[in-house]
Structure 1
Amino acid sequence: MLLKYRVLLFAILFAGAGCDDSNGDDVSGDDFGCVTSFEQNRAFEVVTFNMENFPKEQNTIMHVAELIEHVNADVIAVQEISSESVLNGLANQMSGWEYVFTPDPSSDISLGYLYKATEVELIEEATDVWFEDDWWRFPRAPFVIKIRHRESGLETILINLHLKAMGDADDIGRRYQASQALKEYLDTNHPDDFVIVLGDYNDELAEEKQTEDVFANFTDDSENYKFADMSIATGNKDFWSYPGWPSHIDHILMTDEWFDYFDEAITLRPDQCFDDYENYISDHRPVVAVFNLN
């Protein structure tokens, strides 16, 4: 088994809280209805996590550090970071973790990555920001890094995405145009590369819509692209990434180079263990994709 399941028992984070013992559906892969912890092995785990105006409270950095160290994934793409200093502070709370950050010049909700340096290597010269001058389609410019998985030697491009929020026709149109532009760019410039696009897409995959099917250009091209979390999107709403609505809007897209390695996608549900999760950490749940590199 690639995964080891444990209940998150950190005394500070989960004092007085209990976990739901039922998982409801096999979609989540989380038998305890709580938080999965990953073994150190040849599996490669990537996470997208909108941390909602991070840090929300005085103790938020401490709580998030405990959560991330427990989960023990390899790379986390994070959204809504208020400054580089707070992401640096988070990385410094966790042994062996490093970060990379890009400021958003138009707002205080920027993008970044956290990665476990013992498991992956950042190829610094490949770090980039795409579509910087296209604010209409990309109000937060996609943040791109390239990493090498140390154990397997496999290299991949990661694209951290935070698309336009809200649901009026203009907002939907902007997300639709962003999806068109991103796919055209990937098709032209990275047709044979391992690529993962992860983040807060601010739209659903399986919704029956009266308007544009925002990501149809990717889902229709199933020979070249797949959403790792499609089974979550079409499954039990208890495992969706944005429980307050509820909706599933945080996604992990992979190119065909990854298809043979993909194992499963999981929604982590720390809100099931920590009653004040939304107040102290985020209104989003982390979503994980697991790849078997054996």
Structure 2
Amino acid sequence: MSPPRTLAPLLVLLLLTACGDDPTPTPADSGVVVDAGNNPDAGTDSDAGTDSDAGADAGQDAPPGITTEALPEGTVGRAYTTTLAAAGGTAPLTWSITAGTAPAGLTLSAAGTLSGTPAQVAASTFTVTVEDANGQTDTQELTLSVSAPGAPVFTAGQWNLTYFGSDSRGPSNSSSDGGTSDDLQIAGARDIMLAAGANLWAMVEMVDTADFDLLKAQLPGFDGFLSNDAAFVSGGTSPYGTSSQKLGVLYDSSLTFQSATLVRIGNSSDFADRPPLRVDFTTEIGGVETPLTVIVVHMRANSADPTGPREARERASAALKAYLDEQLPTQHVFVMGDWNDDVDESISLDPTSGAPLATPYQNFVSDPARFTFITRELSLAGDDTSIGFENVVDHTLATNEAADRYLAESARVLYADEWFPDFLNVVSDHRPVVSSYSFSAATGPFLRLKSPHGGTYQGGSTLPITWTSWGVGEVRVEVSTNGGTDWSVLAASVPAALGRFAWSVPNEAASNVWVRVVDVYEPAHTDMSDAALTIASGAARVFINEVLANEGTQTSAHEFVELVNASPFPVDISGWTLWDATNGSARHVFAQGTQLGGGKAVVVFGGAAAVPAGQANALAASSGLLGLGNGSDSVRIRRQDSTLVDQYDYTSTVPGVSANRSPDATPDANFVAHDTLTPGVASSPGLRADGAAF
């Protein structure tokens, strides 16, 4: 259930922050802004620790007196902020800690804000001093208790941020005077999302990519992308333009990104020409790293026609359910976003009676063994997610595998408009919605190394070390090059919430390398690689090995370019691009997380129709074509920074026959017609010239 509307803003904020953690938290462990000194009955000491006639000199104000006598409790691993208060004194007041230390992970600003992420279970006693502009002071001894969190939960959120980042549409007061465009919308979204504490956000109406990146950068430990980002999203040309509303995801280190694609099902107009964004992750569920699929949707909105849009949503729902039943019949799946309709009854009315029509998503509601609208309980309770609109239209649908782990009554609408100033005109006309799940098998704080686990890596490269944690404040990252006998510190202290550290791998060959992460304050919380790593020295070598430019009697989808990695280690080709001689845009962008294994190949076809079923190292060009000239052209592969990796120029082709290195898979070798290399075989996309696997 959502918070009662009559709650004071502070209590609403306490409930808001708690929703991402224990479903029944207390205000003491919520980790939100708490002003412990604004209560006039807080019990101010009459002496205030100063001389009773201090400040008696003419023109000098009375000395300051600290009114904060107690601090709210903190919780390891959860954001904490509280502001100290004082009465009297001449502004400005300056605060400092003059005896003892604040709890690990927290700092006191000169303005009196104690904030950070507690890193250790402890009760810390320290003395704070406030000094006014005249040098008059007061001191107060304070104790802050930090406790361990309860059982870990996974919290999923969704939010339609109205025309986020658009300079011409969206909230009217989204930019500050003299500030950058939409800076207030970005800051408001950031603060509300941080308070919610979700691990995953499904985002809708994302317009400005740069503003999305700014928001992401201000959410510590979060990654994410939009539905038109070819570096992440594969599977054909994106219909999302620069100024159009896009879908997106933001996710923390509890999730490991695998792949993303646009789900092109049914009639595109039924989805308002916004194809759903499918993102595949893995995450720990029941102690096992398990696939989790998130599909972000923005269904068709209403219009003057009271039934037409509803019927489009109904057709889109049918196409979506058929896709889920066929493609993801036994997986943990969330479908999240703005459904533009409710799931107890439709927002559309019968033109004759004026009564609400049936929900267009009845096909899901009528299949409770397989699907659950987690947010339907909010609809039945009379909640509303769009300001001025009496329905829940922002929903989370879960397959039974995910729904079975739902924490009862954790779904809630976050009524941020009741405490955030001018929310409607600054941030959005939609409220965020969150829900929580018991994915983890742990019952208390833990630390898990997610990568690397074995494998060979290039000396001199940068290797991300990633982890996920619960109830851990700071992490030490260590490496051993002799099988775990001796350990060296790579990073003495990294905020656990960041979930990653970039290791500059030494350019020295080694074969028994291990990595581990350790809780700085509770060393019993530690985890290390499952298998030894190998470091190989030498430069990476990826090259063009085979090209079919003239498809002959086949369609242009059958054009292809094959790349081979001659290195003994995998090469991260995320963001690498494939070009022809046309001075336009790249024909293909390799998606984020694409690793080309040592001695392996990958082949890019001009279209999805040519990709062989079941061939794992084959994919379609992200632009939807390669456009290679039948007579002559230049094929180029470039790194993410546009550095040229390899180039193949040709001035003639043989219809239906590829050009292949000879000897096959040999860097710098000449190209020959494939059927002269292997008689009777016109091409071998993704395979060796003799048909064997790489």
TM-score (norm. length: structure 2): 0.36
Within 5 Å, which residues of 2 pair with 1:103-252?
103=228, 104-105=239-240, 108-117=244-253, 119-123=254-258, 126-131=259-264, 134-139=267-272, 140-150=274-284, 152=287, 153-166=289-302, 168-207=306-345, 210=350, 211-236=357-382, 239-252=383-396
**For 1:150 and 1:110, how far apart are their aligned partners in 2?**
29
Which secondary structure does the structure 1 equivalent of 2:294 belong to? strand
Instruction: Give the Cα separation in 1 of the matches to 2:413 and 2:266.
Output: 33
Q: 1:213 to 1:64 in 2, by over 3 A?
A: closer
Give the letter for the 1:249 counterpart.
Answer: V
Render the CA deviation track for 1:141-198: whole Å, top value 9, x for unaligned.
Answer: 1001012225842321000000000152211111000000000111111111111101
Q: What is the distance in 2 between the residues matched to 1:143 and 1:48?
A: 14
Q: Residue deviations 1:70-107, cap 9 Å, x none? A: 21110000000112221111111222111111135266
Q: Tell me by how many angstroms 1:250 deviates.
A: 0.5
Distance in 1 between residues matched to 2:421 and 2:215, nearest whole Å: 22
> How far apart are 1:253 and its partner, in Å?
0.3
Gapped regions of structure 1 (runs ≥ 5): 1-6, 8-18, 24-29
Shift of 1:272: 1.0
Name the CA distance, whole Å, in 2 between partners of 1:31 and 1:145.
Answer: 35
1:281 to 424, 427, 433: 427
- Assess, with a 3 A threshold, how the Cα gap between structure 1 residues 273 and 267 changes in structure 2: closer, same or farther: same
Q: 1:292 aligns with which of 423, 427, 438?
A: 438
1:205 and 1:62 map into 2 onto residues whose CA distance is: 32
**5+ unaligned residues in a row in structure 2: which ranges?**
22-76, 78-150, 166-170, 176-183, 229-238, 351-356, 442-694
Structure-1 separation of matches of 2:271 and 2:331: 23
**Percent identical across equivalent pairs?**
24
Aligned residues: 266
1:35 corresponds to which residue?
16
TM-superposed deviation, 1:42: 2.8
Q: Describe the shift of the 1:35–1:20 C-alpha distance in structure 2 as closer, same or farther (beyond 3 A).
A: farther
Give the superposition deviation at 1:229: 0.8
1:267 corresponds to which of 388, 392, 413: 413
Contact 2:270–2:315 at 8 Å: present in 1 too?
yes
Give the alignment's TM-score, normalised by structure 1: 0.83
Deviations, residues 24-83 of structure 1 (Å, cap 9, x unaligned): xxxxxx973762332366311111100010134121111111111121110000000112
Does the 8 Å CA contact 1:121/1:150 hold for their aligned counterparts?
no
Inter-partner Cα distance in structure 2 for 1:247 and 1:84: 30
User: Which stretch has the larger CA shift, 91-100 or 201-210?
Assistant: 201-210
Q: Which residue of 1 aligns with 2:642?
A: none
Partner of 2:211: 86
Instruction: Give the Cα separation in 2 of the matches to 1:61 and 1:22.
Output: 25
Q: Post-superposition shift, 1:132?
A: 6.9
Find the aligned partners of 1:31 and 1:79 in 2 and give their Cα distance. Answer: 28
Quote the Cα distance in structure 2 between the aligned partners of 1:121 and 1:142: 20
SS in structure 2 opposite 1:32?
Answer: helix
| CA spacing shift, 1:22–1:219, aligned 2, 3 Å | farther
Asked whether the equivalents of residues 147 and 157 of structure 1 are also in contact (C-alpha less than 8 Å), the reply is yes
Please give the alpha-carbon distance, in whole angstroms, between the structure 2 residues aligned to 1:95 and 1:265. Answer: 24
Alignment partners' CA distance in 1, 2:284 and 2:329: 24
Aligned to 1:21: 7
- Could you list the runs of 4 or more consecutive aligned residues of structure 1 that deviate by over 4 angstroms after TM superposition? none
- Tell me: higher relative CO, structure 1 or 2? Use CA pairs within 8 A at least 6 residues apart: 1
Aligned to 1:99: 224
Name which of structure 1's ranges 208-217 and 95-104 shifts more when overlaid on structure 2: 208-217
Question: In the alignment, is the contact (CA less than 8 A) between 2:200 and 2:249 conserved in 1?
Answer: yes
Counterparts of 1:231 and 1:251 in 2: how far apart (Å)? 10
Given that 2:156 and 2:198 are in contact with CA atoms closer than 8 Å, whether structure 1 keeps it comes out as yes
CA distance in 2, matches of 1:110, 1:249: 18
Hey, what does 1:4 align to over in structure 2?
A: none
Amino acid in structure 2 at the alignment position of 1:76: W
Preserved contact between residue 342 and residue 359 of structure 2 (Cα < 8 Å) = no
- Deviation of 1:133 after TM superposition, in Å, equals 7.9
Query: Matches of 2:282 and 2:248 in 1, distance apart?
Result: 17
